């Protein structure tokens, strides 16, 4: 194994990117297979072709194995409350995603429907995403504390354990992105500039929002 690692130092480093279990089971075999293929190639051109095939194959298999590993980590190694809150959090983001995407596909045809009435609009662009973000952040913090108690691992190692943290990190990032999109949109001033007036003069606020083409 050491001899093969010294012969293929770059490939050996790439293999470290594979999930631990996969690397332990197949790492040495993959190095040996590459060595055998190159040893049986009679010309530099054929060896180059072997390396090119490897360059195409490695990103595909690496991505595939990491996705499988992340899926197994989520469903097999994650507490029930984390899995449950992950789906609940995503459910709060779903109305924004569905309405915003469908509105774009329909050439902004929702502007004069009940979905753009002030109360409903405020609910699906701010209230629901905010709740989803809070759930994901609180769940992530609770899970970090639980793992720190039971595993006694350093905070940095627990925090950057992306194989297990990816659902909460992805949802938290999605929530932040949605709120940034809303609050930094051209029409956000219609509400943020004077929230009290935005609520008491809903008709004028909606007219301002439509002119600003929020989420347009």
**Rounded-to-integer distance, Cα 118 and Cα 99, Å:** 15
Closest of 169, 164, 137, 143 to residue 71, by C-alpha: 164
Query: pLDDT-derived band of residue 215, with 50, 70 and 90 as boundaries?
Result: very low
Task: Measure the CA–CA gap between 122 and 109, rounded to whole angstroms.
Answer: 18
Asked if 212 contacts 187 with a C-beta cutoff of 8 angstroms, the reply is yes
| Residue 40's pLDDT band (cuts 50, 70, 90) | confident
pLDDT of residue 139: 94
Residue carrying the six token digits 């347009």: 216
Tell me the pLDDT tens digit for each residue of 173-196: 999 998 888 777 655 545 544 444
The tens digit of pLDDT for each residue in 134-158 reads 999 999 999 888 888 877 777 777 8
Tokens of 19: 């999930």
Q: Do residues 119 and 69 make contact, with C-beta atoms less than 8 angstroms apart? A: no
Query: Do 153 and 159 touch, CB atoms closer than 8 A?
Result: no
Q: What is the pLDDT of residue 60?
A: 92
């Amino acid at each position: 194994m050491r001899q093969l690692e010294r012969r293929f130092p770059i490939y050996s480093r790439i293999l470290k990117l594979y999930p631990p279990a996969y690397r332990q089971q197949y790492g040495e075999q993959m190095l040996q297979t590459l060595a055998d293929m190159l040893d049986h190639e009679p010309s530099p051109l054929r060896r180059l072709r072997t390396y090119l095939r490897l360059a195409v194959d490695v990103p595909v298999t690496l991505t595939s194995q990491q996705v499988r590993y992340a899926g197994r980590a989520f469903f097999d190694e994650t507490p029930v409350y984390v899995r449950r809150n992950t789906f609940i959090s995503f459910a709060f983001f779903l109305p924004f995603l569905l309405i915003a995407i469908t509105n774009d596909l329909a050439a902004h045809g929702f502007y004069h429907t009940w979905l753009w009435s002030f109360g409903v609009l405020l609910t699906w662009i701010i209230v629901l995403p905010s709740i989803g973000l809070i759930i994901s952040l609180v769940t992530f913090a609770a899970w970090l504390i639980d793992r720190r108690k039971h595993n006694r691992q350093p905070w940095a190692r627990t925090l950057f354990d992306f194989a297990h943290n990816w659902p909460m990190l992805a949802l938290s990032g999605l929530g932040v992105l949605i709120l940034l999109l809303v609050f930094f949109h051209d029409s956000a001033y219609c509400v943020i500039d004077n929230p009290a007036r935005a609520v008491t003069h809903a008709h004028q606020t909606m007219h301002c929002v439509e002119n600003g083409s929020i989420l347009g």
